[in-house]
Amino acid sequence: AQSVSQHNHHVILSEAASLELGCNYSYGGTVNLFWYVQYPGQHLQLLLKYFSGDPLVKGIKGFEAEFIKSKFSFNLRKPSVQWSDTAEYFCAVNAWIQGAQKLVFGQGTRLTINP
Amino acid sequence: KAGVTQTPRYLIKTRGQQVTLSCSPISGHRSVSWYQQTPGQGLQFLFEYFSETQRNKGNFPGRFSGRQFSNSRSEMNVSTLELGDSALYLCASSPTGGGYTFGSGTRLTVV
Protein backbone atom coordinates (compact mmCIF):
# COMPACT_ATOMS: atom_id res chain seq x y z
CA ALA A 1 0.00 0.00 0.00
CA GLN A 2 1.13 3.53 -0.63
CA SER A 3 2.42 5.11 2.54
CA VAL A 4 4.83 7.34 4.38
CA SER A 5 7.21 5.56 6.74
CA GLN A 6 9.16 7.02 9.59
CA HIS A 7 11.52 4.34 10.80
CA ASN A 8 12.22 5.62 14.29
CA HIS A 9 9.35 5.80 16.73
CA HIS A 10 11.32 7.25 19.61
CA VAL A 11 14.79 8.75 19.48
CA ILE A 12 16.70 9.79 22.59
CA LEU A 13 19.77 11.97 22.27
CA SER A 14 21.95 14.16 24.41
CA GLU A 15 22.32 17.86 23.73
CA ALA A 16 24.82 18.71 20.98
CA ALA A 17 24.40 15.30 19.34
CA SER A 18 23.65 15.15 15.64
CA LEU A 19 20.20 14.12 14.50
CA GLU A 20 18.89 12.29 11.49
CA LEU A 21 15.27 11.16 11.26
CA GLY A 22 14.34 8.89 8.40
CA CYS A 23 11.35 9.27 6.11
CA ASN A 24 10.49 7.15 3.11
CA TYR A 25 7.43 7.29 0.91
CA SER A 26 6.04 5.02 -1.71
CA TYR A 27 4.20 7.40 -4.06
CA GLY A 28 5.27 7.77 -7.65
CA GLY A 29 5.12 10.89 -9.72
CA THR A 30 5.55 14.42 -8.50
CA VAL A 31 5.42 14.85 -4.75
CA ASN A 32 5.72 17.73 -2.34
CA LEU A 33 7.43 16.87 0.92
CA PHE A 34 7.13 18.37 4.38
CA TRP A 35 8.44 18.01 7.88
CA TYR A 36 6.25 19.25 10.70
CA VAL A 37 7.08 19.54 14.39
CA GLN A 38 4.67 19.34 17.30
CA TYR A 39 6.02 20.60 20.61
CA PRO A 40 4.33 19.26 23.74
CA GLY A 41 0.85 20.71 24.01
CA GLN A 42 1.19 22.74 20.85
CA HIS A 43 -0.06 22.51 17.28
CA LEU A 44 1.75 21.31 14.20
CA GLN A 45 4.29 23.76 12.84
CA LEU A 46 6.00 23.57 9.49
CA LEU A 47 9.75 23.00 9.77
CA LEU A 48 10.55 22.86 6.09
CA LYS A 49 9.16 21.83 2.72
CA TYR A 50 10.38 20.67 -0.65
CA PHE A 51 8.49 21.43 -3.85
CA SER A 52 11.22 21.49 -6.49
CA GLY A 53 14.76 22.67 -7.15
CA ASP A 54 17.70 22.13 -4.80
CA PRO A 55 17.06 18.82 -3.05
CA LEU A 56 18.78 20.06 0.10
CA VAL A 57 16.23 22.17 1.90
CA LYS A 58 16.94 24.37 4.88
CA GLY A 59 14.21 25.07 7.39
CA ILE A 60 13.74 26.87 10.65
CA LYS A 61 15.71 26.30 13.85
CA GLY A 62 18.74 24.86 12.06
CA PHE A 63 16.93 21.89 10.53
CA GLU A 64 17.53 20.68 7.00
CA ALA A 65 16.31 17.80 4.88
CA GLU A 66 17.55 16.12 1.74
CA PHE A 67 15.24 14.80 -0.95
CA ILE A 68 16.74 11.74 -2.64
CA LYS A 69 14.36 10.85 -5.42
CA SER A 70 15.99 7.51 -6.26
CA LYS A 71 15.54 6.37 -2.66
CA PHE A 72 12.09 7.91 -2.16
CA SER A 73 13.50 9.49 0.96
CA PHE A 74 13.34 12.86 2.70
CA ASN A 75 15.42 12.57 5.86
CA LEU A 76 15.52 15.35 8.42
CA ARG A 77 18.84 16.42 9.91
CA LYS A 78 20.25 18.79 12.47
CA PRO A 79 23.98 18.94 13.28
CA SER A 80 23.61 19.77 16.97
CA VAL A 81 20.34 19.35 18.85
CA GLN A 82 19.16 21.33 21.84
CA TRP A 83 16.91 20.42 24.75
CA SER A 84 14.23 22.64 23.20
CA ASP A 85 14.08 20.32 20.17
CA THR A 86 12.22 17.78 22.29
CA ALA A 87 9.02 17.25 20.31
CA GLU A 88 7.26 14.94 17.90
CA TYR A 89 8.31 15.16 14.26
CA PHE A 90 6.08 14.24 11.34
CA CYS A 91 7.06 13.67 7.76
CA ALA A 92 4.29 14.31 5.23
CA VAL A 93 3.91 13.80 1.52
CA ASN A 94 1.49 15.64 -0.74
CA ALA A 95 0.82 13.43 -3.73
CA TRP A 96 -1.83 12.65 -6.30
CA ILE A 97 -3.59 9.57 -5.04
CA GLN A 98 -6.59 8.09 -6.85
CA GLY A 99 -7.15 11.26 -8.84
CA ALA A 100 -6.92 13.70 -5.94
CA GLN A 101 -4.19 15.45 -4.05
CA LYS A 102 -3.73 14.18 -0.51
CA LEU A 103 -1.39 15.08 2.33
CA VAL A 104 -0.36 11.85 3.99
CA PHE A 105 1.57 11.77 7.26
CA GLY A 106 4.03 9.31 8.66
CA GLN A 107 3.44 7.89 12.12
CA GLY A 108 5.72 10.44 13.73
CA THR A 109 8.99 10.22 15.62
CA ARG A 110 9.17 11.28 19.22
CA LEU A 111 12.45 13.03 19.92
CA THR A 112 13.68 13.37 23.49
CA ILE A 113 16.76 15.47 24.14
CA ASN A 114 18.45 14.98 27.49
CA PRO A 115 20.23 18.03 28.89
CA LYS B 1 -2.06 37.67 8.70
CA ALA B 2 -4.21 35.60 11.08
CA GLY B 3 -3.55 31.87 11.21
CA VAL B 4 -5.97 28.98 11.09
CA THR B 5 -8.54 29.28 13.87
CA GLN B 6 -10.29 26.28 15.31
CA THR B 7 -13.11 26.41 17.81
CA PRO B 8 -13.71 25.23 20.40
CA ARG B 9 -10.30 24.26 21.79
CA TYR B 10 -11.69 21.62 24.12
CA LEU B 11 -14.92 19.67 24.13
CA ILE B 12 -16.35 16.93 26.31
CA LYS B 13 -19.29 14.94 25.01
CA THR B 14 -21.05 11.75 25.99
CA ARG B 15 -21.46 8.69 23.84
CA GLY B 16 -24.29 8.95 21.35
CA GLN B 17 -24.21 12.72 21.13
CA GLN B 18 -23.18 14.64 18.08
CA VAL B 19 -20.60 17.41 17.81
CA THR B 20 -19.72 20.20 15.39
CA LEU B 21 -16.23 21.63 15.12
CA SER B 22 -15.34 24.82 13.29
CA CYS B 23 -12.32 25.92 11.29
CA SER B 24 -11.58 29.35 9.83
CA PRO B 25 -8.74 29.17 7.29
CA ILE B 26 -6.16 31.79 6.50
CA SER B 27 -7.69 34.55 4.44
CA GLY B 28 -7.40 33.69 0.75
CA HIS B 29 -6.93 29.96 1.31
CA ARG B 30 -9.68 28.01 -0.40
CA SER B 31 -8.72 24.51 0.65
CA VAL B 32 -9.49 23.18 4.11
CA SER B 33 -8.49 19.69 5.26
CA TRP B 34 -9.39 17.88 8.44
CA TYR B 35 -7.28 15.34 10.32
CA GLN B 36 -7.79 13.16 13.37
CA GLN B 37 -4.77 12.72 15.63
CA THR B 38 -4.62 9.93 18.20
CA PRO B 39 -1.66 8.35 20.01
CA GLY B 40 -2.31 4.98 18.41
CA GLN B 41 -3.15 5.93 14.83
CA GLY B 42 -1.18 9.13 14.36
CA LEU B 43 -2.54 11.70 11.91
CA GLN B 44 -5.35 10.32 9.81
CA PHE B 45 -6.88 12.27 6.93
CA LEU B 46 -10.61 12.84 7.22
CA PHE B 47 -11.57 14.99 4.24
CA GLU B 48 -10.72 18.06 2.21
CA TYR B 49 -12.96 20.82 0.99
CA PHE B 50 -12.25 23.25 -1.81
CA SER B 51 -14.65 25.95 -2.93
CA GLU B 52 -17.51 24.45 -0.91
CA THR B 53 -17.07 20.98 -2.46
CA GLN B 54 -15.65 17.90 -0.84
CA ARG B 55 -12.67 17.12 -3.01
CA ASN B 56 -11.21 14.25 -1.09
CA LYS B 57 -12.22 11.81 1.61
CA GLY B 58 -10.35 9.48 3.93
CA ASN B 59 -11.41 6.13 5.30
CA PHE B 60 -13.76 7.17 8.06
CA PRO B 61 -17.36 6.06 8.61
CA GLY B 62 -20.28 8.14 7.43
CA ARG B 63 -20.76 9.47 10.98
CA PHE B 64 -17.99 11.91 10.08
CA SER B 65 -19.10 14.64 7.73
CA GLY B 66 -18.18 18.16 6.86
CA ARG B 67 -19.01 21.17 4.83
CA GLN B 68 -17.46 24.39 3.64
CA PHE B 69 -19.11 27.76 3.36
CA SER B 70 -18.68 30.43 0.71
CA ASN B 71 -16.21 32.30 2.93
CA SER B 72 -14.09 29.09 3.06
CA ARG B 73 -14.87 28.45 6.73
CA SER B 74 -15.44 24.78 7.34
CA GLU B 75 -17.30 22.69 9.85
CA MET B 76 -16.87 19.07 10.75
CA ASN B 77 -19.66 17.04 12.30
CA VAL B 78 -19.49 13.73 14.09
CA SER B 79 -22.78 12.03 14.90
CA THR B 80 -23.46 9.22 17.35
CA LEU B 81 -20.17 9.71 19.14
CA GLU B 82 -18.17 6.69 20.27
CA LEU B 83 -15.43 6.51 22.89
CA GLY B 84 -12.93 5.88 20.11
CA ASP B 85 -13.70 9.26 18.59
CA SER B 86 -11.76 10.92 21.39
CA ALA B 87 -8.91 12.66 19.62
CA LEU B 88 -7.33 15.91 18.61
CA TYR B 89 -9.03 17.14 15.44
CA LEU B 90 -6.82 19.32 13.31
CA CYS B 91 -7.74 21.59 10.46
CA ALA B 92 -5.28 22.75 7.82
CA SER B 93 -5.73 25.45 5.23
CA SER B 94 -3.87 25.63 2.00
CA PRO B 95 -3.61 28.07 -0.89
CA THR B 96 -3.76 26.86 -4.46
CA GLY B 97 -0.40 25.25 -5.14
CA GLY B 98 0.11 23.51 -1.84
CA GLY B 99 1.61 24.21 1.56
CA TYR B 100 -0.50 23.52 4.61
CA THR B 101 -0.90 25.58 7.76
CA PHE B 102 -2.46 23.87 10.74
CA GLY B 103 -4.68 25.22 13.45
CA SER B 104 -4.24 24.46 17.15
CA GLY B 105 -6.88 21.78 17.01
CA THR B 106 -9.96 20.84 18.96
CA ARG B 107 -9.45 18.21 21.63
CA LEU B 108 -12.57 16.10 21.81
CA THR B 109 -13.14 13.78 24.75
CA VAL B 110 -16.02 11.34 24.59
CA VAL B 111 -17.11 9.90 27.94
Q: Which residues contact B94 (CB under 8 A, 6 or more apart)?
A: B29, B31, B32, B33, B100, B101
Confidence label for A87 from pLDDT (cuts 50, 70 and 90): very high
Contact between chains at B56 and A44 (C-beta distance less than 8 A)? no
Q: Say how far apart CA B52 and CA B74 lie, in whole Å.
A: 9
Determine, for residues A46 and B100 on separate chains, whether the beta-carbon distance falls below 8 Å. yes
Closest in B42, B55, B100 to A103, CB measured: B100
Q: CA-to-CA distance for A97 and A95, rounded, in angstroms?
A: 6
Chain A interface residues (partner B, CB cutoff 8 A): 32, 34, 36, 42-46, 49, 51, 90, 92, 94, 100-108
Interface of B with A (CB under 8 A): 33, 35, 42-43, 45, 48, 55-56, 90, 92, 98-105
Residues 6+ apart with CB under 8 A from B27: B1, B2
pLDDT tens for B29-68 read 999 999 999 988 889 999 999 999 998 888 899 999 999 9
Q: Which of A94, A100, A107 comes nearest B98 by C-beta? A: A94
Whether residues A108 and B33 touch (CB distance < 8 A) is answered with no
pLDDT tens for residues A33-63? 999 999 988 889 999 999 999 999 999 999 9
